[in-house]
A and B are shown apart, each in its own frame.
Chain A
Amino acid sequence: MAPPPSSAHDSSITLDVNGDKHTLTVDHRTTLLDALRERLDLTGTKKGCDQGQCGACTVLLDGRRTVACLQLAVAAEGRAVTTVEGLAEGGQLHPVQQAFLDLDGYQCGYCTPGQICSAVAVIEEHAAGWPSAVTDDVRPEAGPPPLTDDEIRERMSGNLCRCSAYVSIVQAVSRAAAAARAESAGTTAAGAGEAA
């Protein structure tokens, strides 16, 4: 039950979540994670530790991955929040979701939304040329390193999976990344073809 609004402790904010605008009054102490779960009934984002150590609450904030438990809801106003519920388009699963499903990249499923959101960002970060701690050549002109299993493991290490489905999670991220590259190459090729 929501507390009565009071200016000292509460604020009315508008959150942009998965493209939908939600106006709500929140306790200033409310984290983005609790706002999603307790106020907007978006429980796909999980609370594993509530202190930024497990990655289960990973969401995309303006396209960048972040742990929603260390983000105050009031500070998320005006930013685009994407949760696991916002990845599928219509009935079509996001390629990362499909790969997790097909390759059994989970067991209990509780870390899964965070793993998936993280993986979506990893694939984009890699494509944008961001290096990781295991990247051999970090010079900008070297371009994106091959997205090896070691690169995926390093980049996904903020997301704990106690069931330890790591083997199949890495396979799923690898498959989805390959599909994204193929699609990107196809789009580029098609675009080039049209231009010619």
Chain B
Amino acid sequence: MTTAPAARESAVGTARTRVEGRDKVTGAARYAAEIPFAGLAHGWLVLSTVARGRITSLETAGVLAMPGVLTVLHHGNAPRLNADYIGLLGVPPDPTCVVFQHDRVPFMGWPVALVVAETPEQAREAAEALVVRYEEEPHDTAFTRDRPDAYPVGGRMPAETRKGDMEAALAASAVVVDAEYTTPEEYHHPMEPHAATARWDGGRLDVVDSNQGATWIVGELANLFSLDPASVRVRSEHVGGGFGSKGIRAHQVAAVMAATHLRRPVRVVLTRRQMFPLAGHRSATIQRIRLGADTGGRLRALEHRSLSHTSTVHEFVEPSTGATRVMYDADAHHTANLVVRLDLPTPTWMRAPGEAPGSFALETALDELAEKCGIDPIELRVRNEPERGPVSGLPFSSRNLIACFQEGARRFGWADRDPRPGLRREGRWLLGTGTAAASFPVMALPSTAAVTAEADGTFTVRIAAADIGTGARTALTQVAADALEVAPDRVRMRIGDSDFGPAMIAGGSMGTRSWSWAITTAAGELRERLVPGAGIPPEGITVRSDTTEAVGALAQMERHSFGAQFAEVAVDVTTGEVRVRRMLGVFAAGRIINPLTARGQFTGGMIWGISMALHEEAVRDSVSGGHYGADLAGYHVATHADVPHVEAHWIDDPDPHDPVGIKGIGEIGIVGAAAAVANAVRHATGVRHRSLPIRPDRVILAGTAGAGADAGAGAGARAAGEAHA
């Protein structure tokens, strides 16, 4: 279902292939490391090989004598940077990208030097030959549930929320679920490694980069190097995926430093292995949920506490309990996001930060409650639909969660489901189905756009948007066409250049919404300025917009997208293999601009959920403080053979307060997806898995319900009351 077209044929809501599609399928689309420059030099980062300590020496003389080597930058010779500022996203810079300022090493893989040479081969060999000596100190990378040094951290939301008497409400509850859920370190791994080429061009710093927001990166570089932002230009025409990891990183800063030092263009590309410590990740989480309900499944108590880790140099919290403040209400309601500082790299936003691991815990716990109450999991959610924000008390702008469940149940064939676990067998496979809810906040941030009516009757839109694979370039073309009341082929969409003026990042599922708002505003004003029959001067007529005021005027409400996830799995308990057989998601996520690309956003997110449920886990060696197998052979992401039939649908749900009706669709697809898979594994085997990923060894060790146990970190201690135990 899509929204009804307006009176004239609307471009919005119509499936369109990507504007840049031909360039992408022919290899013509150039990414950040692919723009040639005369005199280009190549930088290679050298990372620390200890997890904590101090650099005592860097033996650069021999390296500088190697063929082609131009310079070695390190803390002993690098220019001082300014790190005393708050960036576009409201946070100070992660010191990991404020490179080469001191001799301290706070984690394994900390950038300690940049070797620059004429060719990549020379730079790499010299970087590998550089001897760096350290005074090593004992490191602490132990992420455990009872860290006394854990502390609550806010950020874009309060660290803790609390109402009612939790212990009294639990004591008065007929049914209680009390369990611990864990998720591992997860890594974004966009297919295009982070890459930047920096050069000085006519007195301006010009950086060709792979990022999620040119405006963002300009602000960071201008601050770090104490430059006038107007003298910095960042371009990122094509971006090979981001998922939260493509912000300001060590490679851009190192490239700018080297280009300034050498007075020639310098390119720095992260290797896949370097992306582990330098490109951010999702912290592991240890979450505890306590639910208390009456026999009918109505919640009286809901407690969700989440612990994540950050580095010793920068505070970042994985806000796993955020969605719990929105999804379900209870008289006693308590949520808290805690952090412990360890000798580990700094985590960052990763697709649905907070919601992805949080929904695994919460939606698994709801499934446990449904089972204990003997109520269908969908009916349990119907009975716990809040009328207002459970914590905020604010009204919802729209909340179509139950409609998603109803539509999903119909399409998936949920009505025929026998809820009893461990009953369905097909050869060596045990079969099961599971469901879970999804939500993601609806946000917008100020952006500017320029729309030009050209003399030839076409229109050019300029906006510093980023298309990281979301289809933004195409969606914005459709939005602009409707706002200008012309066919999309008369609109030229130019993005990925900071010179187009400030704009929001591709993140938080708010890129397309924020940018569309600015484009719609400018286009509307332009149409008013165009006099029918009057000519357009050769330079065209341009109107600029700035949505700061309009976005700021949005009333406080609970604004969210919602969704329902369904999964069918087959589990071979002798090999431990879990195969997802089919997956279906139904979403209420605002007006859908381009059904063709939107479907890919939803299903891509759902596949991230499969990957999170079954595959993704970076394993850390406590002795070295680094990873085992820090590459794509050691860190498993879902590939073709892991992905079955995956379907995404949506229901009519235009945002009532957005000029185009957009809510944002980039992240909700992963939310609840891992829980749906885990709940299906429970249904198949009778075993509740509370630790991700559900690896073969975990499945084998857990066996089936008949053999007796739950799996998961807190299963034995905290869920001993399980009916099957």
Chain A residues within CB distance 8 Å of chain B: 1-3, 9, 27, 29-30, 34, 37-38, 41-51, 53-54, 56, 83-85, 87-88, 93, 97-98, 100-102, 104, 106-113, 116, 149, 152-154, 156-170
Contact = CB atoms under 8 A, between A and B. Distances in A.
Interface of B: 17-18, 20-31, 33-34, 36, 39-40, 67-68, 118-122, 125, 188-193, 238-241, 243, 269, 271-272, 468-471, 596-597, 599-601, 603-605, 607-608, 611, 631-633, 637-641, 643, 645-646
B17 A102 contact: yes
Contacts of A49: 193, 272, 631-632
B241 A108 contact: yes
A157 B641 contact: yes
Given A157-B640, A157-B641, A53 B243 contact: no
Contact of B468 (A47, A106, A108): A108
Contacts of A168: 599-600
Contacts of A170: 640
B241 A84 contact: no
13 contacts: A43-B27, A50-B272, A51-B632, A84-B27, A97-B25, A104-B596, A106-B24, A109-B469, A110-B191, A152-B640, A157-B640, A166-B607, A167-B607
A110 B240 contact: yes
A97 B17 CA distance: 13
A27 B42 CA distance: 15
A29 B121 contact: yes
B150 to A, nearest CB: 32
A159 to B, nearest CB: 7
B577 to A, nearest CB: 14
B121 A85 contact: no
A162 B191 contact: yes
Q: Is the interface of A mostly helix, strand, loop or mixed?
A: loop
A93 B25 contact: yes
Given A48-B272, A164-B603, A165-B600, 19 more contacts: A29-B121, A38-B120, A44-B27, A48-B193, A49-B632, A88-B26, A93-B22, A93-B25, A106-B24, A107-B471, A109-B469, A110-B190, A112-B24, A113-B27, A153-B640, A160-B637, A165-B604, A166-B639, A167-B603
A163 B17 contact: no
Contacts of A37: 34
Nearest to A101: B21
Nearest to A170: B640
The 9 A-B pairs with the shortest beta carbon distances in the complex, nearest first, are: A44-B27, A108-B469, A110-B240, A107-B469, A109-B24, A164-B607, A43-B34, A84-B27, A53-B632
A170 B272 CA distance: 26
Contacts of B632: 48-49, 51, 53-54, 160
Nearest to B242: A108
B393 to A, nearest CB: 38
B191 A106 contact: no
A43 B240 CA distance: 13
A108 B27 contact: no
Residue among B67, B121, B603 having the largest count of chain A Cβ atoms under 10 Å: B121
A162 B189 contact: yes
Nearest to A96: B25
A111 B31 CA distance: 12
A117 B562 CA distance: 38
A101 B121 contact: no
A33 to B, nearest CB: 11
B192 A30 contact: no
Contacts of B120: 34, 38
A158 B639 CA distance: 8
- Residue among B24, B640, B643 with the most chain A CB within 10 A? B640
Nearest to B125: A29
A100 B239 contact: no
Contacts of A158: 639
Contacts of A2: 119
A3 B191 contact: no
Nearest to B68: A3
Contacts of B122: 3, 27
A154 B153 CA distance: 44
B600 A51 contact: no
Contacts of B633: 51, 53
Contacts of A51: 272, 631-633
Contact of A107 (B189, B470, B639): B470
Contacts of B611: 164
